[in-house]
Amino acid sequence: MESTSGPADSARGGRFPRRELLGRAAALGVGLGTSGALLALGDAPAVAVPAATPRPGGRSIWAAESDPVSLNPITNSLFASVQGFEHCYESLTAYDAKMNIVPALAQSWETPNETTYIFHLRRGVRWHDGTEFTADDVAYTFGIVLDPKGPAVYRSNFDQVDKVQVVDKHTVKLLTKAPFPPLLGAFAILRSSAIVQKGALDKYNMETQIVGTGPYRLAEYVPKSYLRLVRNRDYWGKPLPYLDEVLFKIMTEEDARVAGLRARSIDYAFLTPLGEQRLRSERGLTILKGPRIFLYVFQINMLRKPWSDVRVRRALNLAVDRREMIAKALNGAGTVSGPIATGFGHWFVPPAELERKWYVHDPEEAKRLLKGAGVPEGQPLDLLVTPFGGSGFYTAAAVVFKEQMQKVGIDVKIRQVEPGVFDKEISPPTFNYDIQINAFTPRHDPDGFLWNRFYSKNAYADGYSNPKVDDLLLRARTTVNPAQRKALYDEVQRLLLADVPMLWIAVDQVIEGLQDYVQGYQQSPFTRRDWGLKHAWLQK
């Protein structure tokens, strides 16, 4: 069990009858028209329904399943970092719990034509240091993000933005090079899109400090131990948030999280299916459960031989038994997925087609392809893995993959590293691995699953290049008509499935345990906690 040097736990209230709420995540309507309205919406997520009027105040202790490592919202790619800073930073737009795009720092916007967005900023918003938020902060942020030589990891989410113009103190105009449907979601996803204070890079250490506009202020961050958040009493969204203080204890081991829920020393924890089973008969807990848009993948480094040979990559695909991997690494709680995550609106390739046509398990054909490509028996493969995210998938899947590859003559060497090291090893220009196990965490649009990794001129393409895919991706991200976009992304996905630049495995479920006295929390199919925590309160 992990210990913490943070403040001591507060006393806990009495027990309540156990409830289990099985929620369905939203069928994401991520195809945006020029009005910014979602084109399709799904059902509400699971929610700890308030039994009374929200009661402000109180202190709550929550488990964080991963260390954020860095709290810089511009320069890092770890989803654990987003989970660390999402309560403190905001962008022009945001996602609610149903994955609707809603106003945030922009109170409203208009699109006089398909390449012009005019954002009207909220007035009276204050940074956590008390200074006023203005259009200059937005211009400063996107000056960094749009700089081709700048540090923004997710610059590709905004590479169709041509200019950011300050109209006046509370108005910003964005001009795009072409129609760009992903734009509003690209703000909301908070990947290199959180608005930072003008001069932030020079004012403070953004790796460990935050000056934001969000509902909570970062009071203290002790790496690998805890983050302490306190209520922003000047928050523009009053009466939110309700809690006075939230301590996120970093508890990477599920045993510690399960024990904490049982002992009532923590109020919230992310769980695996195994953790849910262990707590199934526990009184006083609410279990929220629903589909998660969280796509587990094996990323192949095509800059290295023999993995640059499509025959070899197809052999790896034939050697993978996804059903066995789901059974052993996800405790059976997973659904096979293609390049766009299964469950992400209507954009994905149906699982039935994937299993029938693209994911046939055939080790003998895999051996034949490897022999034809000149791959020797016992070919070594450097498999890079890190146990982030609290799901348990990564290390378990590595073992399953090693066993499956052994059957076709590939000698997998599992190399497990810390999350910070992993992030450096997989980033350009290093790419120090043959295959790395990862997950496509929240994406704002089908473009988010495909553009950064598979458009050949992007830094993260890992050596993949297909001119037809490049053309289709360019057309799809600038096409406003939803039906036309769908046809383009369908074609892209099937080309990728044939080229196998990646081994797509499955999506899983989001399972969260809360003490029954935690009310108002709504879970997200993206495993984002910002909306839920902002609305949570304690009934005790």
- Tens of pLDDT, residue by residue over 271-302, are 999 999 999 899 999 999 988 888 999 999 99
CATH homologous superfamily of 292-509 equals: Dipeptide-binding Protein; Domain 3 (3.10.105.10)
Predicted pLDDT at 428:
87
CATH of domain 46-85+214-284+516-540: 3.40.190.10
Predicted pLDDT at 15:
28
Predicted pLDDT at 255:
95
Q: Is the pTM of this model over 0.85?
A: no
CA 63 to mean position of chain CA atoms = 18
Q: DSSP letter for 480, please.
A: -
Q: Rounded to the nearest 10 degrees, how much is the dihedral formed by the CA atoms of 228, 233, 234, 239?
A: 120
How far is residue 215's CA from residue 89's CA, in Å, rounded to a whole number? 8
Model confidence over 191-205: pLDDT tens digits?
999 999 999 999 999
CA 197 to mean position of chain CA atoms = 24
Predicted pLDDT at 45:
61
Predicted pLDDT at 389:
63
Predicted pLDDT at 506:
97
- Reading the block at residue 337, the tokens are 């997925």
- Per the CB < 8 A criterion, the answer to whether 422 and 70 are in contact is no
Q: Where do the domains of the chain lie?
A: 46-85+214-284+516-540, 89-201, 292-509
Q: Is the peptide bond before 181 cis (omega within 30 degrees of 0)?
A: no
Predicted pLDDT at 211:
97
- Across the chain, which has 540 residues, the per-10-residue mean pLDDT values are 28 31 33 30 54 90 94 89 96 91 96 96 97 98 94 91 97 96 94 96 95 98 97 97 98 95 97 92 93 93 97 98 96 94 93 97 98 97 86 91 98 94 90 95 90 91 94 95 96 98 95 96 91 94
- Per the CB < 8 A criterion, the answer to whether 537 and 520 are in contact is yes
How far is residue 469's CA from residue 489's CA, in Å, rounded to a whole number? 10
Predicted pLDDT at 9:
28
Adjacent-strand bridge partners of 121? 106
Cα Rg for the chain, rounded, in angstroms? Answer: 23
Predicted pLDDT at 6:
29
Query: Hey, what CATH topology would domain 89-201 get?
Result: Dipeptide-binding Protein; domain 1 (3.90.76)
How far is residue 435's CA from residue 53's CA, in Å, rounded to a whole number? 51
Predicted pLDDT at 30:
41
